[in-house]
Amino acid sequence: MHCHNKLLGRDNDDKMGFTVTPVRPSGSAHFVGSANNLPAERGASIRLALGIGNLKILLYNPDNGITQNFMPHLWMFLLQALTPADHEVVLIDGNTRPMSDVELVQFVIDEGIGLVGIGAMTRMIAKAYRVADSLRAAGIPVVMGGPHVTEVPDEALGRNGGARHADALALGEADETWPLIVADAARGQLKETYTATDALGQDSKPTLQDYPAIPWDSLDLQQFNRIPGFVRPIMHRLGYPWETFHIIPIESGRGCPYGCEFCTVTGFFGDTIRFRSNQSVVNEMLSLKQRARDTKGQVAVFFVDDNFGINVKRTKSLLRDIIAAGAELSWVGQISANLLRDEELLDLIAASGGRWIFIGMESLDPANLASVNKGFNKPEEYTGVLQALARRHVYAITSFIFGLDHDTPGVAERTLAQLREWPPVLPVFGQITPFPATPLYARLESEGRLTRPQHWLEFAPFQMAHTPLRITVPEVQDEVRYAWTNSYSPAATERALDSIANEPAAYKISHLASRLFFRGIYFPPKGAWQWLKLIAENRRSLWSVVRDSFTRWHGSPDRGRTQDCDRSSGSAGKSELDEANCTRADRGVLGVSGEPEIGGEA
């Protein structure tokens, strides 16, 4: 994601977990071998799978056994769309369809799957290796890809003294090499590595101008439905006849020029920005909007660009095209705070369906920001940016990192004191984590500060992997826990809702639902009993929202027209945007079929 150290020690690549940008195999690629020269038991199963010249392929995204994602990973859908039509593709996300290693292997055997592609970020890699080992032991060839194996390929291939985990690796982005991998697998001749290269043998990246059309209208997305079965009858009684709610990842571009010290994005996607055509993005959103209508469901979009506003002129152009085409859907995107000073951009965000903006604030201390090469963040601007968003009924997910070199004990309370002065936000907190091949990792290694150099092989959420300078490791853990506990307590949730008491009920529903789900990032509720306990603890807030839904759906009558309707931004296209935003404020948050929409889960 854009330059911030991802929560729970995750790296910055939710959009392409396999992120193999398949291209032409490099000239130095090594052959793993055909089905005829593999051990008898493996060769037999592969020959059986390949007997008719095509493949049944499983694309598998592992969970890490501890944390969960709220949305599926884009890489699976993208590679499925890039797979030649004579092969069948099955998708499984371990976050939504958990299986033990034994169960997954049995599923693969029962389904006659002949190739498994596993994409994993650093926080998932230990689970990915374990699953791959089980599949390979059963005779199933495994291809692995993503930022982690791209940066440390010797680990996955067993060249560093450890076990080998994959038959083949897709290094880098996979948009061009994936069809070649499938073709080689169908012949039983997988190469050891696949790398995207140009005619001169140099690494290359796809332009995204011929981006594949993902057939959202026909895909089976049941495993990604965010509405539990037991909730649907309740929603029907309350007048919300939704069968499904999906958070769908879309990318409009790749790359980031900022080069934050802890970020994996620049190293993997590069510092040059590549964009899809506006029409390609608009068509995808129209397809999702139609699916929502056809399935009596709701869809929210998460733009997984590492910085959706990195080229403000282009972002404005895209949002105008979305509005002009009637392709508005509730959406979430990641935009750095320095780009959110543009009033016209904020108008377009609101008018196009923007609901939440993820902002990697990281720290309130300019010295901390400078130490990780993120000095373009200006803490003195945070308040103004958040207020400008809130005036348009767009709210922020704010990310903070503890354990930076200038942090001292008490950093959590100092951060929360500032948060209390802002419009309601969804804060997330994590500790600084050195990912392999990042400048941060190299610096800490050279300074002798790494305490767990291969921390990813023993994933532990909210655990540091190096020695901080002005605070101890246990103190950082305490600060993170303090921040989460005091940000998502029942009292904090009640205060957040009180601060928007006069707004339409839909915004309060969105805030409450979002806060309950975001609390689960650090305090995951296990089972129905813990969910019931959470509901009981927040009963005052729940009752307030339910009451307002029946008595004040459009908000307090004396709140008047929102500030959006009266402001004078001086930007081009002001009148149309003001009208769109005023209409939106009057009606609350509307879904694609005119029903109120809860869009804050993402």
Helix (H, G, I), strand (E, B) or coil at 39: coil
Across 279-293, 440-454, 455-469, least confident range = 455-469
C-alpha distances in Å from residue 464, one per residue of 145, 416, 456, 458, 471: 26, 21, 11, 12, 12
Residue 475 has pLDDT above 70, yes or no: yes
Instruction: Tell me how far apart the alpha carbons of residues 430 and 360 are, in angstroms, rounded to a whole number.
Output: 11
Residue 254 has pLDDT above 70, yes or no: yes
Query: Over the chain, what is the mean pLDDT?
Result: 83
Instruction: Tell me how far apart the alpha carbons of residues 520 and 517 are, in angstroms, rounded to a whole number.
Output: 5
Q: What pLDDT sits at residue 293?
A: 87
Q: What pLDDT sits at residue 52?
A: 43
pTM exceeding the 0.85 threshold for the entire prediction: no
395 within 8 A of 355, measured Cβ to Cβ:
yes
* 76 phi/psi in degrees, rounded to 5: -65, -45
Residue type, 600: G
Residue 312 has pLDDT above 60, yes or no: yes
Q: What pLDDT sits at residue 44?
A: 38
DSSP 8-state class, residue 300: E
Instruction: Tell me how far apart the alpha carbons of residues 318 and 278 are, in angstroms, rounded to a whole number.
Output: 5
Residue 361 has pLDDT above 50, yes or no: yes
pLDDT tens for each residue of 106-144: 999 999 999 999 998 898 999 999 999 999 999 999 999
Burial-class residue 336 by CB neighbours within 10 Å (0-12, 13-18, 19+). Answer: buried
Q: How confident is the model at residue 230 (pLDDT cuts 50, 70, 90)?
A: low
Residue 598 has pLDDT above 60, yes or no: no
Write the secondary structure of 337-371 as one string of H (helix), E (strand) and C (coil): HHHCCCHHHHHHHHHCCEEEEEEEEECCCHHHHHH
pLDDT tens for each residue of 45-100: 443 444 446 899 999 999 866 666 668 899 999 999 999 999 999 999 988 888 99
Element containing residue 348 per DSSP (H, E): helix 343-351
Mean pLDDT over residues 402-410, rounded?
97
Percent of the chain exceeding pLDDT 90 equals: 61
Helix (H, G, I), strand (E, B) or coil at 327: coil
Instruction: Tell me how far apart the alpha carbons of residues 346 and 315 are, in angstroms, rounded to a whole number.
Output: 11
CB atoms within 10 A of CB 277: 15
pLDDT tens for each residue of 186-214: 999 999 999 988 777 777 899 999 999 99
Residue 573 has pLDDT above 50, yes or no: no
377 within 8 A of 361, measured Cβ to Cβ:
yes
Residue ranges and CATH numbers for the domains of the chain are 22-195 (3.40.50.280), 243-501 (3.80.30.20)
Q: How far is CA 7 from its chain centroid? A: 11
Q: What pLDDT sits at residue 592?
A: 26
Mean pLDDT over residues 280-303, rounded?
92
pLDDT tens for each residue of 259-276: 999 998 888 898 899 999
Q: What pLDDT sits at residue 39?
A: 38
Q: How confident is the model at residue 228 (pLDDT cuts 50, 70, 90)?
A: low
Instruction: Tell me how far apart the alpha carbons of residues 117 and 170 are, in angstroms, rounded to a whole number.
Output: 10
Q: What pLDDT sits at residue 490?
A: 95
Residue 24 has pLDDT above 70, yes or no: no
Helix, strand, coil % (nearest 5) of the chain?
A: 40, 15, 45
Instruction: Tell me how far apart the alpha carbons of residues 15 and 334 are, in angstroms, rounded to a whole number.
Output: 12
Mean pLDDT over residues 218-228, rounded?
79
Q: How far is CA 506 from its chain centroid? A: 24
Check residues 507 and 602 and name the one with the higher pLDDT: 507
Burial-class residue 340 by CB neighbours within 10 Å (0-12, 13-18, 19+). Answer: buried
Helix (H, G, I), strand (E, B) or coil at 37: helix
Residue 568 has pLDDT above 70, yes or no: no
470 within 8 A of 406, measured Cβ to Cβ:
yes
Residue 20 has pLDDT above 90, yes or no: no
Q: What pLDDT sits at residue 462?
A: 81
Tokens of 440: 């941060």
